[in-house]
Amino acid sequence: MEIQQFENLDLDAQACLTWREGVHLAYRSKGEFYMSLYRLSNFYVELTYHTCCDGVIEANCFECEDQLQFYLEQINISCLFRMNDSI
């Protein structure tokens, strides 16, 4: 599936397709929202949920890896440095 085809689907179809065929990569939260990142075909999909509501409220798709920065900032690699120190 191409990103343009995905964008033309309604929100329910986008969420179902993402859950069914996407590869889950990460979570993040911002205020009253939490987001779940998936890789689908040759693009990324971020599904947004409100903490008080059940279900997806928005699906954002993108190809530019610059938008992954929010997720990369959450990765803690300090244990890798401790492993190198003990070698």
3-state secondary structure 26-86: EEEEECCEEEEEEEECCEEEEEEEECCCCCEEEEEEECCHHHHHHHHCCCCCHHHHHHHHC
What residues make up the domain containing 69?
Answer: 3-85
What is the residue-level pLDDT of the chain in tens, covering all 87 positions?
Answer: 999 999 999 999 999 999 999 999 999 999 999 999 999 999 999 999 998 888 899 999 999 988 888 888 776 667 767 655 555
Sorted by sequence, the CB contacts under 8 Å of residue 15 that are 6+ apart come out as 47, 55, 56, 59
**Nearest Cα to Cα of residue 23 among 3, 45, 2:** 45
Q: Using only the alpha carbons of the chain, give its radius of gyration.
A: 16
Find the CATH number of the domain harbouring 74: 3.30.67
What is the pTM assigned to this prediction? 0.81
Structural domain total, the chain? 1
Looking at residue 80, its pLDDT comes to 62
pLDDT at residue 85, as a whole number: 57
